[in-house]
Homo-oligomer: A and B are copies of this chain.
Amino acid sequence: MNETMDISIDFSRLKLANPVFTASGTCGYAEELADFMDVNQLGGFITKSVTVKPRMGNDTPRVVETDSGMLNAIGLANLGLEAFIQEKLPAISKLTVPVFVNVAGETIEDYVAVAQRLATEQAIAGFELNISCPNVAKGGLSFGTDPAQVTEITSAVKQAAGDKILMVKLSPCVTDISVIARAAVEAGADVLSLVNTFTAMVIDIESRKPVLANRTGGLSGPAIKPIAVYMVNKVFNEVTKERGIPILGLGGIRTASDAVEFIIAGATAVAIGTANFVEPNCAVKIIEGIKKYCDGKEIKNIRELIGSLE
């Protein structure tokens, strides 16, 4: 194989060495993975959600395995904006890989506060807005399921984010994901990432209680991959292709073949979530596998592959 094969991509205003990210919430703040992989080999890195105030997160159990998947209800446990800046940012600023901070909150002001505070931090390439959170101000329905709220939150954060790249992460739990995608893009999203997890439940039939302390959780893993691929392709065709907006595709990716499937469907880059738990070095293997695939297919530039579904 051509070891020097170039699989670098244009990702909004960034040039990335390769199209593989690790997904928010599955790779900590990078330092935890250091024993298992060289984070700088990634195309991009996305932190666990950061909120304005620290969050303890939910009671346990917070995870449960399902067929080819898992539910999680971590509850956005994180150390909060200030501690993030004090304790995590110094290490992050030493990374050469572009780092995106995943931002979550309960009100639009929460999101804006995080983005504003970090907008001037050199160490950060951009933000990923986790809009699957419940909007407490509006009765707790997820921001991401209502196009009007998506518009509002995206424009507000866009303003706050300065020249940072703004990625909006879509929830798959909607009737028509293109409607949400369009709202985000028209309100200023530079990149769309999809999908987040599916709301789901596992019941312990012995105790007749939900297994998760939070009752419900988000389904991720290979189980959801075919739905995610469909949604990426739909958003690509209906929203992002004509506008030249990149998609970060994710949901159940575990092998290079999975990653290539998302890229053919329309993703410019992909992110690895649940698979990191099984194989912490999975992303690096996938980068190698994508190169091999391109080489075998005599694809000179990975751009030829993006959205190349016949």
Contact = CB atoms under 8 A, between A and B. Distances in A.
Interface of A: 66-69, 71, 145, 173-176, 198-203, 205, 207-210, 216, 219, 221-227, 229-230, 233, 252, 257, 260-261, 264-265, 293, 308-310
Given A175-B175, A224-B223, A227-B199, A205 B264 contact: yes
Contact of A205 (B200, B216, B227, B293): B293
Given A201-B265, A203-B264, A203-B309, A219 B226 contact: yes
B202 A226 contact: yes
A197 to B, nearest CB: 10
A252 B67 contact: yes
A257 B205 contact: yes
Given A67-B225, A200-B229, A208-B310, 9 more contacts: A66-B225, A67-B68, A67-B223, A69-B226, A200-B230, A202-B226, A203-B261, A205-B257, A208-B264
Contact of A203 (B69, B207, B265): B265
Chain copies in the assembled complex:
2
A229 B198 CA distance: 12
Contacts of A225: 66-67
Contacts of A66: 222, 225-226
Which of A173, A176, A203, A257 has most chain B Cβ within 10 Å?
Answer: A203
Given A175-B173, A201-B233, A309-B210, A226 B71 contact: yes
Give the secondary structure class of A's interface: mixed
A200 B226 contact: yes
Contact of A227 (B174, B198, B208, B260): B198
A264 B207 CA distance: 10
A294 to B, nearest CB: 11
B200 A227 contact: yes
A69 B223 CA distance: 7
B309 A208 contact: yes
Contacts of A257: 205
A242 to B, nearest CB: 20
7 contacts: A68-B69, A201-B226, A201-B230, A202-B261, A203-B265, A205-B257, A205-B260
A200 B227 CA distance: 4
A205 B270 CA distance: 15
